[in-house]
Amino acid sequence: MEHDYDIALTVNGTAVTRRVSARQHLVDFLRDDLGLTGSHAGCEHGVCGACTVRVNGEIVRGCLMLAVQANGCRVDTVEGLSDSKELARLQKAFHERNALQCGFCTPGMLMAAQDLLKAGRKPTREEIRAHISGNYCRCTGYQAIVDAIEEVMHGQS
């Protein structure tokens, strides 16, 4: 049975066509085929959030979506959102607040935080924690991460 499929999608604004194996996850496609290694493959079963990317404007798990499912979609990664400066305020706050230690979770944290920021509300710390509950920081540096997100959300940055 045929296991490879042609896909055409837009990644960070650029049209991309590739032939992919059905079993390949979106995050592995981005990392291995396109060299976009900002999205990290951590737990690979949807728990850690390190692979968070945007598909058609909404954040998803890159390890719980197949590359073939992204056919026809618009995919944005941490690289794209960095280049467009959409993440600039969050990145500055993460830097200033020391909201990263090893940095492995940071791209996913930024993508999840930006998703909350886009909603345009002023969430409480509790709501920020709920929104990033699907993103694990194994250095356990959550306090500083919540501080950084809160600072940007409340426009102090």
Partner 1 sequence: MKAAAFAYAKPASLPAAFDLLENPNAKVLAGGQSLIPSLNMRLSAPELLVDITGLPGLAGISMQENSIRIGALTTHAQLEKSGEVGKHVPLLAQAVPHVAHAAIRNRGTIGGSMALADPAAEYPACAVALEAVFVIKSRTAERRVKAGRFFKGLFETDLKPGELLVAVEFPAAKKTDKSVFLELARRHGDYAIIGLAAHNSRFVFLGAGSVPVLIQGDSMAKARAELSKSLKPSPDLYNSSATKLHLAGVLLERAWNTTTTLH
Task: Give contact residues for partner 1 (rule: CB under 8 A).
Answer: 1-3, 5, 21-23, 25, 28, 43-46, 49, 52, 58-61, 63-66, 68-69, 112, 115, 129-131, 133-135
DSSP lists the bridge partners of residue 6 as 19
Neighbouring C-beta atoms of residue 127, cutoff 10 Å? 15
CB-nearer residue toward partner 1: 62 or 150: 62
CB-nearer residue toward partner 1: 22 or 102: 22
**Min CB(130)–partner 1 separation in Å:** 5
CB-nearer residue toward partner 1: 32 or 86: 32
**Min CB(117)–partner 1 separation in Å:** 13
**Min CB(133)–partner 1 separation in Å:** 4
- The answer to whether residues 71 and 7 touch, using CB atoms and an 8 Å cutoff, is yes
Smallest CA-to-CA distance from 131 within 139, 141, 118 is with 118
Q: What's the burial of 92, exposed, middle or buried (CB within 10 Å: 0-12/13-18/19+)? A: middle
Q: What's the burial of 59, exposed, middle or buried (CB within 10 Å: 0-12/13-18/19+)? A: buried
**Min CB(20)–partner 1 separation in Å:** 10
